[in-house]
Structure 1
Amino acid sequence: MPVLCASKCGRNAVLKRPKTGDALCKECFFWAFELEVHSTIINGKLFNKGDVVAIAASGGKDSTVLAQVLKTLNERYDYGLKLVLLSIDEGITGYRDDSLKTVHENKEEYEMPLKILSYEQLYGWSMDKIVAEVGRKNNCTFCGVFRRQALDRGAILLSVNCIATGHNADDIAETVLMNILRGDVARLQRCVNIITVTEGAIPRCKPLKYTYEKEIVMYAYFKKLNYFSTECVYAPNAYRGHARTFLKDLERLKPSSIIDIIHSGETMCIKENVKMPEKGICTKCGFVSSQRICKACMLLEGLNRGLPKLGIGKTSKATKVLVTLPNSKRIDF
């Protein structure tokens, strides 16, 4: 027997929201989903009228849904934003080259300008080359660090006011768990912020901060959005995968676990006598860093000097090695 939509619109329900358990029709689900993102944007004061906003576009479900929703809300509520797509080509054969085809299709569909920057172009290394040097154990460290800085470089080239990323509630809850397990209080404090400014020169915001991954998939499916769904070929060995598996187990027992973990991260306090990293400028590349030499430069210097694991681990140890090595040159990008 058909179940009626919980919003009492008279239509039959076609889905049950993982987040609330409500049975909704497609139209009411779209409206509820978009309204929640709108509330996140307004309550978090993410944008100002006239802002140029770069959407970090990978071609995956999160960034594709983010582009669709921001375009919709920008027109519906007159945000007055100029939206552009910014993509990073890490140089992963069979993954990123295919996903960028989807990004180009999204560019045409959403009528947004697109800028693509590659690791090869910026650093002289692709992820395929890096993995050949370091193996698959620590490759995600290189990719994450280089990607964050590459987004900053692209944002500066586009003269944007803000970078909007597709981080969803599941992503943030996973990061909270990872930082607790690592004892990383600095990142624990930052990862739950809806706007971060310490990661780089351009502020970043998370309009999907409270949006469940399952609902993003449902939205993309029922909207028939074009997105790339293949997992990165180097991701199965990532540490994040263990946190993700644990979180999914928790979600099956209690769907609110995801939001509960995020709220826990938001309310955690750091002791007054704990020294937190201070934002400064990297002496090599000139980008924001809490160390004299930023992590990206350490990793890149290690690759260029035939010491690929130099930047893995403690920053202080790598800095000492860099200082003592001969012919240390400034890294120009």
Structure 2
Amino acid sequence: MKCTKCRRRQAVYLRSYSGEMLCRFCFKRSLEVKVKNTISKYRLLSHNDSILIAVSGGKDSLTLLKTLWRIESRIPSVTLAVLTIDEGATRSYRAEGLKLSRKICEDLKIPHYIVSFKEYVGYTLKELWSRIQEKKLELLPCSYCGVLRRRIMNTFAKDHGFTKIATGHNLDDEVQTFIMNIMRGDYSKLFRFGASMEVVPGFIPRIKPLRYIPEKEIAFYAFLEGFKLYETECPYVHLSMRDEIRFMLNDFERRYPGIKFSIMSVMDKLSKQFSKLSKTYFKTCISCGEPTSRDKCRVCEIMDLVST
């Protein structure tokens, strides 16, 4: 079967939601064009930006790094650097990601920084989980891992003069989070979506160039790029509601191609309308001085629980 775009090369990928049959070249180009269009539409990059890319060594972050590197080469005033956070889940899990991240940064000649939970909060993720179990607290690893990772990224970016933080969140990630917030009744987080965050004093803006790319396409792009992918998954992933939501949405997508894009479209419309009606007001955490929408930030609440 010939590629429906170039009509010359052999097709290797079927986009079920659009009906396109794409060759290797046209598939890679179409994904990169989608990323560039997202960056352009939402003005994610500006001249003289210094971008800190969060890279774990997984397919999403490696794809983000490679696509931004290609785009950055056309915008000389933009600089890139990579941050890898060692959560300390297990030695084998993060060691693999560190090795993959280090290799691609060396190949692309991009500065690579490595920091750890232990260095910033005094505990590894594994140690935190042990203390939470000992205290019989109703906290799952994913609920505090993300909070701590975001704090570390923001602190590191501020300390080193970066103007933006780029993360590898894809279409599936965004839709899953939206559904999870609905199921939890978490109204305050329901409309905090977008390719970029609003500018808030004390927070380095985060951008999501892969927001409109399905996870399946990122995996295939990573395969075509020759990235060696993780063989070890996070040991806590199956404790999260996200794992079940992922399975459910993938089943719906298989039966009703394009449903994830439909949900994303609704998210964007709701977020746009909600932003006109409500604004989140930030103040200073009474414990650490970081910006927060509450009296004490979530990081300090978590650390108080595990430390007392």
Please give the secondary structure, in 2, of the residue aligned with 1:87: strand
Aligned-partner SS, 1:195: coil
User: 1: distance between equivalents of 2:305 and 2:159?
Assistant: 27
2:57·2:101 contact (CA, 8 Å) conserved in 1?
Answer: yes
SS at match of 2:143: helix
- 8 A contact 1:5–1:12 mirrored in 2: yes
Partner amino acid for 1:294? Answer: C
The residue identity in structure 2 corresponding to 1:51 is D
Distance 2:62 2:143 in 1: 25
Q: Does 1:85 align with 2:82?
A: yes
Range moving further from structure 2, 248-257 or 94-103:
94-103
Give yes or no for the alignment of 1:194 onto 2:195: yes
- 1:176 and 1:153 map into 2 onto residues whose CA distance is 26
Alpha-carbon distance change, 107 to 238 in structure 1, aligned in 2, over 3 angstroms: same
Q: 1:95 to 1:287 in 2, by over 3 A?
A: same
1:267 maps to 269
Partner of 1:175: 177
Q: Deviations over 1:58-92 (max 9, x none)?
A: 000000000001111222x4363101001111111
CA separation in 2, counterparts of 1:129 and 1:63? 26
Superimposed CA distance per residue, residues 237-282 of structure 1 (whole angstroms, 9 cap, x where no aligned partner): 1111121111111101112111111111122244998x76421221
Pairs within 5 Å for 1:4-23: 4-23=2-21
Please state whether the residue corresponding to 1:210 is helix, strand or coil.
Answer: coil
Which among 283, 286, 311 is matched to residue 286 of structure 2?
Answer: 283
Q: Does the CA contact (< 8 Å) of 1:91 and 1:97 recur in 2?
A: no
Tell me the alpha carbon deviations over residues 173-221 of structure 1, each in whole angstroms, 9 at most, x when there is no partner: 101111111222221111x211114786100010001001000011011
1:322 maps to what in 2?
none
Q: 1:49 aligns with which of 47, 59, 63?
A: 47
CA distance in 1, matches of 2:255, 2:83: 37
Q: Structure 2 length as normaliser, TM-score?
A: 0.92
Aligned positions, number: 300
Q: Percent identity?
A: 33
Distance in 2 between residues matched to 1:47 and 1:102, nearest whole Å? 26
Q: Which amino acid aligns with 2:286?
A: T
CA distance in 1, matches of 2:69, 2:76: 10
Secondary structure at the counterpart of residue 219 of structure 1:
helix
Q: Counterpart amino acid of 1:193?
A: G
TM (norm. structure 1) is 0.85
- Matching residue of 1:216: 218
CA distance in 2, matches of 1:244, 1:198: 30
Conserved 8 A contact 2:6-2:26: no
- In structure 1, the partner of 2:118 is 120
Q: How far, CA to CA, are the matches of 2:11 and 2:176 in structure 1?
A: 31
2:109 aligned to 108, 111, 122, which one? 111
Q: Which structure 2 segments of 5+ residues have no match?
A: none
The Cα of 1:95 is off from its aligned counterpart by 1.0
Secondary structure class of the residue paired with 2:191: helix
Higher relative contact order, structure no. (Cα contacts within 8 Å, ≥ 6 residues apart): 2
1:67 is aligned, of 53, 65, 68, to: 65
**More moved, 259-268 vs 222-231:** 222-231
CA distance in 2, matches of 1:78, 1:118: 31
Matches within 5 A, 1:276-315: 277-305=280-308
- The letter of the residue matching 1:128 is K
Q: CA deviation digits over 1:21-52, x for unaligned, max 9?
A: 31111111111111111001000100101100
Structure 1's unaligned 5+ residue stretches are 306-333
Q: Provide the rounded CA distance (Å) in 2 between the counterparts of 1:210 and 1:272.
A: 23
Q: What root-mean-square deviation, in Å, do the aligned CA atoms of Structure 1 and Structure 2 show?
A: 2.0
8 Å CA contact 1:92, 1:127 repeated in 2:
yes
**Residue 319 (structure 1) aligns with:** none
CA distance in 1, matches of 2:239, 2:63: 27
Structure 2: distance between partners of 1:57 and 1:48: 21
Residues 62 and 166 in structure 1, CA contact (< 8 A), matched pair in contact too: yes
What is the identity, as a one-letter code, of the residue corresponding to 1:304?
S
